[in-house]
Structure 1
């Protein structure tokens, strides 16, 4: 009897239709699938996706801060979905989760701080390479 009451209460909390959605994570092997209410906010869906991703032990490790991610819908165009939109408002069930692009840090002078260039450590100059090449002795039989 208690189980029946619990199931009824659980179903009463669900607003609107439920959808099985599929979220592709860039760099991951396959999509994450779970059921959501179509009235659920995009921010909540991102949070649920990150938790499911971590619980499954998927790689690469993403973290759990939903503010570092954006959800895209192919049918909504190239812009990310607003976190305050409902997930069912786009009529889609397939989405892509991406990390937000990192903004460049601005220095005190107002200019963008540039990252130090990574240089390959050279074993010598090109002149020394030529000298070594010319000084090689080729022996004939």
Structure 2
């Protein structure tokens, strides 16, 4: 009896284990992606994994409400159309975009972002995380 062996799904390019830290969450989300995968798809996968794991705070699934940062590369948000492997790093940070809520009358618009109930703010936490040295094995 001759057995037919079908082709497996072949992935072109290298695969990377990436770690995405969500501000305000307990720990990073880790998953494997193709290095040619675009940043927008990686953000979508991270938000789905975050929701599937039932993490808090609840974020939602609209990727246009979030930005992905590479703490080593600087404070500029990554372009959602670039390949994730083009940055040469595997650790990223997912942050919610600040929302502008306009007041009625002559008051200035107020920016609403992620807040923390304990001491410190997300900005100070972000700056501290940029200064941390991460050793690789």
TM-score normalised over the length of structure 1: 0.69
* Higher fraction of helix: 1
* Alignment size in residue pairs: 109
Is 1:24 equivalent to 2:2 in the alignment? no
Give the secondary-structure state (helix, strand or coil) at the position aligned to 1:89: helix
Among residues 41, 52, 55, which one is paired with 2:49 in the alignment?
52
Between the aligned partners of 2:110 and 2:24, the Cα distance in structure 1 is 27
Between the aligned partners of 2:87 and 2:103, the Cα distance in structure 1 is 36
Larger radius of gyration: 1
Shift in CA distance, 103/114, structure 1 to aligned 2, threshold 3 Å: closer
Aligned Cα root-mean-square deviation (Å): 2.2
2:18·2:90 contact (CA, 8 Å) conserved in 1?
yes
Superposed CA offset, 1:51-88 (max 9, x none): 00000111110000010000000122111101111100
1:107·1:113 contact (CA, 8 Å) conserved in 2?
no
Among residues 16, 23, 39, which one is paired with 1:42 in the alignment?
39
Corresponding residue of 1:99: 96
2:100·2:109 contact (CA, 8 Å) conserved in 1?
no
The runs of 5 or more residues in structure 1 that have no matched partner are: 116-141
* Higher fraction of strand: 2
Give the secondary-structure state (helix, strand or coil) at the position aligned to 1:96: strand
Residues 106-121 of structure 1 mapped to structure 2, 5 A cutoff: 112-113=108-109
The runs of 5 or more residues in structure 2 that have no matched partner are: 112-137
Between the aligned partners of 1:106 and 1:38, the Cα distance in structure 2 is 44
1:75·1:90 contact (CA, 8 Å) conserved in 2?
no
1:54·1:61 contact (CA, 8 Å) conserved in 2?
yes
Is 1:88 equivalent to 2:85 in the alignment? yes
